[in-house]
Amino acid sequence: MRVDLFDFDLPHDLIALRPVSPRDSARMLLASGAEALADRCVLDLPDLLNPGDILVFNDTRVIPAQLEGRRGEARIGATLHKRVDLRRWQAFIRNAKRLKIGDEIAFGGGVSAVAEARGDDGSFTLCFDGDEPVEVLLERAGRIPLPPYIAGKRPADEQDRRDYQTVFAKEDGAVAAPTAALHFTDRLMAALDAKGIMRETLTLHVGAGTFLPVKAEDTNNHHMHSEWGRIDPCTAERINAARAAGGRVISVGTTSLRLLESAADESGTVQPFEGDTAIFITPGYRFKAVNGLMTNFHLPKSTLMMLVSALMGVDRMKAVYAHAIAQKYRFYSYGDSSLLIP
């Protein structure tokens, strides 16, 4: 499928550089079946779902995975994107032509790493020196890796350490937030509970590959980076029970959706899962586990734009995005939301 089918023009002033406050006051565009699009608010979510529906969240926690260092006189930037083991991470490197296998990078604060290998995609495997857990080293030397469309306009700061985490964040390992869940607050969760809407969490450690542009002209030629995820047996059992009782499975974010679909068998039953997934969902894909998706607005020609088009149809999503732009919805990680029910 041609990648340019998923392109659109977005005015730069619609890219959100900070989230709204409170988080649950963000706007939400409802696209349900063939009904007309409706401008709603995230706080309306309990009224848009049915008792017995189940929301599935990603409880991954963003780590300070952006590092700046030196190899001799050369400045080297590193964005960690996938854990290899306790001391090793795969990383995208800025100024990679100045880095060779065996070189040591000093990141400051007593934190350093050796470039051990280079992958086919140009990324490096970095092995961090010392005995302290890598997470401790990152807290000392790293910063929150904001998406390029925000980082290109302002530096990350202490406020981002709070803003770029969900209320569900628990499992360290993500280098990008599952941003659909950034809108959830305690008062919204209480309203959902009162309505009888259930919720479960899984873990998918979002990698920096989520921000990489699709450079191929055809989706068949795009290579997806893998990400590690886990759905424990009890969670899978409760999701399946809710679905069997007539509830809809609503994924909060594309990360939750991708893991649910990776774990589902052909009958739609979600199986326990632990490992890597590189699932690439494009139009023509048959969804097995998920009945709806709450998600922010995505980049042109991105794999996530392809995913939502697979769920709703290419023409429907073009209409959704045209409406969002015309009504000046705020886009991307810190932006507004949408609720997509095919």
CATH number given to 66-142: 2.40.10.240
Q: What pTM value is reported for the model?
A: 0.94
Cβ 39 vs Cβ 329: under 8 Å: no
State residue 93's pLDDT score: 96
- 100 token code pair: 């060779």
CB distance 251 to 311 below 8 Å: no
Q: Give residue 341's pLDDT.
A: 98
Q: Do domains 3-62+163-341 and 66-142 have the same CATH topology?
A: no
| pLDDT for res 214 | 87
Structurally, at CATH architecture level, domain 3-62+163-341 sits in: 3-Layer(aba) Sandwich (3.40)
Per-residue pLDDT at 137: 96
pLDDT of residue 211: 66
Which pLDDT value is given to residue 207? 86
Per-residue pLDDT of the chain (342 residues; tens, 9 = 90+): 999 999 999 999 999 999 999 999 999 999 999 999 999 999 999 999 999 999 999 999 999 999 999 999 999 999 998 999 999 999 999 999 999 999 999 999 999 999 999 998 889 999 999 999 999 999 999 999 998 899 999 988 989 999 999 999 999 999 999 999 999 999 999 999 999 999 999 999 998 767 667 889 999 999 888 999 999 999 999 999 999 999 999 999 999 999 999 999 999 999 999 999 999 999 999 999 999 999 999 999 999 999 999 999 999 999 999 999 999 999 999 999 999 999
Q: How far is 163 from 158, CA to CA, in rounded Å?
A: 9
CA distances in angstroms from 297 to 6, 33, 78, 135, 231, listed in the order given: 13, 18, 27, 30, 26
Give the domain ranges of the chain. Answer: 3-62+163-341, 66-142
